[in-house]
Chains A and B, each alone.
Chain A
């Protein structure tokens, strides 16, 4: 018994010593808490920022905009920088959750393509700096699907039972159902929303799983035939498995922009702006887009890309592809209904 006690005592001592040292080492360092999507940054980028600015980055990831919103809105957590999508930024601006960015501290903003400025979610460019953009479409395995894929309807085809992966994200999945039915992604019509819900419930037996980032590994290893994915993931997975192809269905889809924002209540706005500016450096922006496969709104980074990627319609779709695409709106007045529909879809069998 004495021995066990001694061992335990030693462990305690060790931890205390380590924590004291760790405390001494990191005490003068500033901290920056970054909240980003999973798999959404180039390799070594964070480390380089930490080294260059002597700032400790606490990095955490989320899988959906809603998850991020709840975590920040709930008030339980405090982050400095986050990278939500357009409609969520609109909502967060409305709810006074974001800090205005001082653009004199973000000189690299000049590299952002004019196309991505003055967008409806942040009409005066006060709160956000675009990071990546893309669409939503169907990624499919040519060896497992022999018919042409051009419509969302294929996701309701009994033939692919338990071979379909859907996004575990309310707006995206409801959006797919709404588009399949020929409605707007931003419908306020409860009847249309109800039909979308029924369609998703009808589809559920065919769905292998609602997924997040794991969709990439699952599609690369051939565990499913069809998956709804964000375009950047299609670029990445096609690189790993040439049997895969990506299409934006003819009914149209969602076009989105993810942008960097600073959260209200940040204790380190200066560092947050340094971080955003750093992410907009041509070299860093290139490394990010090259590694994660998503399309960049950064003019210089785009020039550095492989022409093959630039010609890939998954990454840089033509005007024709984007014809029927819509951008999500915040829908603050009816968003509760979307949440309810999603909860019911998930709970249904």
Chain B
């Protein structure tokens, strides 16, 4: 009985530790005063200021555009790659999969600076400077492995007799792929897509090194402001981000728990 109470208190303390800073952040985003220490009445002015700031809106647009585009492109390339890798011989497969794991285990900062070196190096003959496009390429690059890792398990569960039966019955390989394989691995593809989308939105380090020329995303915006100290506008922005994540997560969780009841492990 005592053990139970202790357990409960312990859990509450941990949740307090995890949530108190965020709750305070949310509360203080409605605070009239600039400084965090004091409460000077309710206001929405920081939100109003935030939405007047064209830089924030531009950063938001960049964040969403990069997330959507990189998630979609990474999902297409990654799904095709997973199907291809699945068919490979044992040794080739091992080599490619190890290569796939490389960006997953490599520290973000190293991936970021090495991509920056590449983009600066190629600028002399492609003419593409650091900016939106390079950031997009970087995001696709770090997203593809996660798509592959989400699709591979579904491919392993696949019953290849159905596919062979389809071919025997006269389906072209592409038709069979579209009608038989893709529908069966669909849950893996969707998971990969959502994972890629969220990872892209969440990323700071790689974007930080691969963008430039005035193109920023929300995370970079928050960093450049936070580096300069407390600012209620960041509180407001953080609150919006928190609420959005919460909403997205509830939707995804509903989907996941319907699809397969075991909780997903984050691979980062």
Physical contact A–B (CB less than 8 Å): yes
List chain A positions with a Cβ less than 8 A from chain B: 1, 3-5, 7-8, 11-12, 15-16, 18-19, 22, 33-35, 38, 58-61, 71, 74-79, 212-214, 217-218, 221
Q: Which of B65, B251, B258, B259 contacts A15 (CB 8 A)?
A: B65
Are the C-beta atoms of A15 and B213 separated by less than 8 Å?
no
Residue of chain B at shortest CB distance from A218: B229
Are the C-beta atoms of B68 and A217 separated by less than 8 Å?
no
Residue of chain A at shortest CB distance from B67: A15
**Is residue B116 contacting chain A, with contact meaning CB distance below 8 A?**
yes
Are the C-beta atoms of A77 and B213 separated by less than 8 Å?
yes
List chain B positions with a Cβ less than 8 A from chain A: 35, 55, 61, 64-65, 68, 72, 116, 119-120, 123-124, 129-131, 187, 190, 193-194, 197, 212-216, 224, 227-230, 251-252, 254-255, 258-259
Are the C-beta atoms of A221 and B227 separated by less than 8 Å?
no
Are the C-beta atoms of A217 and B230 separated by less than 8 Å?
yes
Q: Which of B35, B213, B259 contacts A221 (CB 8 A)?
A: B35
Q: How far does the alpha carbon of A38 sit from the alpha carbon of B35 in the complex, in Å?
A: 21
Between A and B, 21 residue pairs with Cβ closer than 8 Å are A1-B187, A3-B251, A3-B255, A4-B194, A4-B254, A7-B251, A11-B64, A11-B68, A19-B61, A33-B213, A33-B214, A58-B215, A75-B120, A75-B123, A75-B129, A76-B212, A77-B129, A78-B213, A79-B213, A217-B229, A217-B230
Q: Which of B124, B213, B227 contacts A212 (CB 8 A)?
A: B227
| A35 contacts across to B, CB distance below 8 A | 214
Of A1, A33, A61, A221, the most chain B CB neighbours within 10 A belong to A1
| A58 contacts across to B, CB distance below 8 A | 213-215
Are the C-beta atoms of B116 and A59 separated by less than 8 Å?
no
| A218 contacts across to B, CB distance below 8 A | 229
Q: Chain B nearest CB: distance from A39 CB in Å?
A: 9
Are the C-beta atoms of B61 and A18 separated by less than 8 Å?
yes
Q: Chain A nearest CB: distance from B247 CB in Å?
A: 10
Q: How far does the alpha carbon of A2 sit from the alpha carbon of B35 in the complex, in Å?
A: 46
In order of increasing CB-CB distance, the 5 nearest A-B pairs are A58-B214, A77-B212, A76-B130, A60-B214, A214-B228
Q: How far does the alpha carbon of A79 sit from the alpha carbon of B116 in the complex, in Å?
A: 17
Q: Chain A nearest CB: distance from B163 CB in Å?
A: 23
Q: Which of A5, A8, A60, A76 contacts B120 (CB 8 A)?
A: A76
Are the C-beta atoms of A76 and B65 separated by less than 8 Å?
no
Q: Which of B61, B65, B123, B212 contacts A71 (CB 8 A)?
A: B212
| B229 contacts across to A, CB distance below 8 A | 214, 217-218
Q: Which of B61, B68, B129, B194 contacts A78 (CB 8 A)?
A: B129
Residue of chain B at shortest CB distance from A39: B228
| A16 contacts across to B, CB distance below 8 A | 68
Q: How far does the alpha carbon of A74 sit from the alpha carbon of B120 in the complex, in Å?
A: 7
Are the C-beta atoms of A59 and B228 separated by less than 8 Å?
no
| A22 contacts across to B, CB distance below 8 A | 61
